[in-house]
Amino acid sequence: MNLSISLGNLWLKNPIIIASGVFSIDSAPYFPLPDIGAVITKTITPLPREGNPSPRLWETTGGLMNSIGLQNVGLKRFIDEELPRYLELSLPIIVSISGEKEDDFPQMAEKLKDKGVSGLELNLSCPNVERGGMHFGKDAEVVKRIVREVKRASSLWVMPKLTPQAPDIVETAQAGREGGADAVSLVNTFLAMALDIKTRSSRLGTLMGGLSGPAIKPIALRMVYEVAKAVRIPVVGCGGIMTAEDALEFIIAGASAVELGTVCLLNPSVPSEILKGIKEFLREEHIGDIRQLIGSLKTSNNG
Amino acid sequence: MRGPQKAKVVEKSFIGEDVFILKLLQPFIAEECRPGQFVNVRCSPLYEPLLRRPLSIFDVDREKGEFSLLIRIVGKGTKLLSQHKEGDELDLLGPLGSAFPYNQYKNPLLIAGGIGIAPLYFLAKTVDHPTIIFGAKNKKELYTLEELREFATVLVFTEDGSEGEKGMATSKLHRLILKHDSVFACGPLGMLREVVRIAKEAEVPSFISLEERMACGFGACLGCAVKTIKGYKMLCKDGPVMRGEEVML
């Protein structure tokens, strides 16, 4: 049985990727590393960021809102102190990067190009920062420009992560491809609110946060389907995947691989469970190669 | 790998209208845990509620490989936990977080407010000749007081005077603290603020067990941020026990 997939010229032994934001180098012992196809780091920015005030989390029905705000040690300390430890995990490491200015992206790519990483995910979709983040990802022209400049600055594999806040996510995905992206990942969290009616204030330390978890899965799945149908580069699906069945839905809708985010926070063993479930499904369905399943959705009866 | 573990419910007993003790068989956690640490418990095999619930370890029986949680029902997660029966299996992560640094001090003073007794009961059982101030709104909220009295010197305060002295847990702290070289506390935020203020004045180090909304419990998501004089710290990893003087309460 073949479980390996390719995202352009990045080969993964299986389609399970740990999404940005739910894995830190110190938390690696909690994860079943041998069953993971690739790890995406928490988003790194050019300078350290202390993140947003607490509370940073709010649990909703079937979902989780967060307003972490890209807390990270900054690129220099990441390269000096954390990256060497990531590389010891013997897994493809994709570094998630973001910045406040468009120029930040190529400059970071330049500094990461010869450091042994397998690629970059461009976080053009964080809803929790005042500058940059999803404000870049909402504008297709900006997405194209940033991807193009990153590709010029390094030969690294590049995947922009798209925001569902974009007016037309297919257009932004297309812009990513035109800029030279090797793949696109979607979706990042949905901008959301929750209020305390007694204090008449936000449940979070910020007014709004990003919603993730099973509540967003059907919308994410629809967006992945639309993008995969229209854009001729590999799509990595993300948004509320909890089970093997969820992961398979994304793959059938056109995703070549999936990112697991929120689910890892409540169950870090989940990559093994999902991988096992995928294998069982392939066996039952007599499918020898997971790639046969990618984009296998039948739509003939749905008009 | 330190992933989730299964634990068997050995006993569940209600000790108040909405407070219960869950005794669990889990030899690894029973062996490893230290007072102040917590476990992050999945409340249901389904995904509702989505997140685990962080709960302080209340008591341990290492010989039997058991440990207990003292839980107050405050929402749907703890409600679901209260419905577990003997023999049920729970899924939990732990032990997690920091412990009270009890072996670095000779003569600590323990202070608990209401349900904040949870981690301090375990601590009181661990240190020699413990003295603990136990405060609550009323007699009913002095959970496990009788058991505590079997092995600790307990100074009781209730707001309504229904047991012990009438007053807050911190009412006489400025005097009581003078005989001790450290303070270990858990309770409501207002109480912890007072503990830290009084301890600072008396120049005695204080260690407080805090709460914050939490997701993973193992330092990955950076959700449970606590502001300290050294910037944001993560309650699940740098805490839940933190130095009183460093936290910006």
Instruction: Tell me if A24 and B219 make a contact (CB, 8 A cut-off).
Output: yes
Smallest CA–CA distance from B215 into chain A, residue: A265
Let me know if domain B5-96 sits in CATH 2.40.30.10: yes
CB pairs under 8 A between A and B: 111
Residue A266 to residue B212, Cβ atoms within 8 A? no
Evaluate whether A93 touches A118 at the Cβ level (below 8 Å): yes
Q: Is A126 part of the annotated catalytic residue set? A: yes
Q: Which residues contact A129 (CB under 8 A, 6 or more apart)?
A: A69, A70, A98, A100
Distances (CA, A) of B164 to A63, B70, B176: 45, 22, 16
Q: What is the ipTM of this complex?
A: 0.92
B170: helix, strand or coil: coil
CATH topology of domain A5-51+71-192+212-292: TIM Barrel (3.20.20)
Q: Determine if the peptide bond prior to B41 is cis (ω within 30°).
A: no
Least Cα separation, residue B193 to chain A (angstroms): 18
Q: Residues in chain A whose beta carbon is closer than 8 A to a beta carbon of chain B?
A: 21-24, 26-27, 29-33, 42, 50-59, 61-64, 66, 68, 71, 213-214, 242, 262, 264-269
DSSP per residue, B129-143: S-EEEEEESSGGG-T
Q: What is the model's pLDDT at position A303?
A: 55
Residue A274: phi and psi, rounded to 5, are: -70, -40
Give contacts of A189 with chain B, Cβ < 8 Å.
none
Distance of residue A172 Cα from the nearest chain B Cα, in angstroms: 27
The H or E element spanning position A247 is: helix A244-253
CATH class of the B102-206 domain in this structure: alpha beta
Q: In sequence order, which residues have a C-beta less than 8 Å from that of residue A198 and are 6 or more positions away?
A: none
- pLDDT at residue number A134: 83
Tens digit of pLDDT at every position of chain A (303 positions): 999 999 999 999 999 999 999 999 999 999 999 999 999 999 999 999 999 999 999 999 999 999 999 999 999 999 999 999 999 999 999 999 999 999 999 999 999 999 999 999 999 988 777 777 788 999 999 999 999 999 999 999 999 999 999 999 999 999 999 999 999 999 999 999 999 999 999 999 999 999 999 999 999 999 999 999 999 999 999 999 999 999 999 999 999 999 999 999 999 999 999 999 999 999 999 999 999 999 999 988 775
Beta-bridge mates of residue B221: none
Counting as low any pLDDT under 70, the low residues of chain B are 1
**Residue A23 has which token pair?**
């894995």
The domain locations on chain B are 5-96, 102-206
Tens digits of residue pLDDT in B142-155: 999 999 999 999 99
Answer left, alpha or beta for residue A239, where phi above 0 means left and psi between -120 and 50 means alpha. Answer: left
Q: Check CB contact of B225 with chain A, cutoff 8 Å.
A: yes
From A126, A235, A241, A260, active-site residue: A126
Amino acid making up residue A221: L
Judged by CB atoms closer than 8 Å, whether chains meet at A26 and B216 is answered as no
Domain boundaries defined on chain A: 5-51+71-192+212-292
